[in-house]
Amino acid sequence: MEALKVILLLNENGVCLYIKNYNLETITNGKVNPITSLICTILLEIFSMERLTIAERMTSGRSQYIARCRAESKKMRRSSSYRKSDEAMKERYSWEI
């Protein structure tokens, strides 16, 4: 967990990390806050699990798409409606051009 390593490095150098969403400070009154460390560890593990779940879902969806294309003897590609015409692209991104 690289994020935990960064938090520990900041704490060792006396830098307080403030997490606004959860109103947490890693250092209070000059000491490392153990409750914040525990909460950060739990949150980072939950984020890690969620990242793995998303990867599994993506792999599953990709596998199902490949199987469906093979069963229907289709080429695997984006639909023809995915690509916009040059005029539509110019109209949509006129401020960038």
* pLDDT, tens only, 68-94: 988 988 887 777 677 778 888 888 888
Percentage of residues in the chain with pLDDT exceeding 90? 28
Q: What is the pLDDT of residues 52-68, one digit of tens each?
A: 999 999 999 999 999 99
Q: Within 10 Å of residue 25's Cβ, how many Cβ atoms?
A: 13
Rounded mean pLDDT of the chain? 88
**Residues 6 or more apart from 55 whose CB is under 8 A from it?**
none
